């Protein structure tokens, strides 16, 4: 039975945190969980600005690690993984919800994300 799994990605610790969140999310989605990746602060800005892949170490290319943006696009398309943000997080990141909204699967209130996490699991990076 599929359970909700919410990943809160708010860390500004760079590519490593983005990589870990994406790979855990894609793995869970590929095993049948309903994954929601909630972005805030620097990860949200990087996603919206198209710089989500920046900062990857040289060892990532040597290990054959694919683009995080491409991995997310495929997981969204093929596995139903959702990428969301709450409107307050969008505003705190200095972004316009009307511009950001179409790039995400949804603008979700934090209360909705919390309720979803209560039905399944949550992880924060």
Question: What is the per-residue pLDDT for 1?
Answer: 62
- 8 Å CB contact between 35 and 7: yes
**Cα separation, 100 vs 39, whole angstroms:** 11
pTM: 0.94
pLDDT in tens, the chain (125 residues): 689 999 999 987 799 999 999 999 999 999 999 999 999 999 999 999 999 999 999 999 999 999 999 999 999 999 999 999 999 999 999 999 999 999 999 999 999 999 999 999 999 99
The ranges assigned to domains in the chain are 4-124
Question: Hey, which bits of the chain come out as E strands?
Answer: 4-9, 34-39, 82-85, 106-107, 121-124
The fold for domain 4-124 equals Hypothetical Protein Ychn; Chain: A, (3.40.1260)
CA dist., res. 36 & res. 28, Å (int): 10
């Amino acid at each position: 039975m599929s359970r909700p799994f919410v990943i809160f990605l708010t860390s500004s610790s760079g590519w490593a945190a983005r990589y870990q969140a994406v790979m855990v999310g894609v793995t869970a989605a590929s095993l049948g969980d309903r994954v929601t990746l909630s972005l805030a602060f620097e990860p949200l800005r990087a996603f919206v600005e198209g710089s989500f892949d920046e900062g990857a170490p040289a060892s990532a290319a040597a290990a054959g690690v694919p683009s995080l943006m491409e991995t997310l696009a495929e997981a969204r398309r093929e596995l139903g993984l959702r990428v969301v943000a709450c409107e307050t997080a969008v505003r705190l990141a200095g972004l316009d919800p009307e511009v950001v909204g179409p790039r995400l699967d949804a603008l979700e209130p934090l209360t909705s994300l919390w309720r979803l996490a209560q039905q399944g699991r949550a992880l924060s990076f």
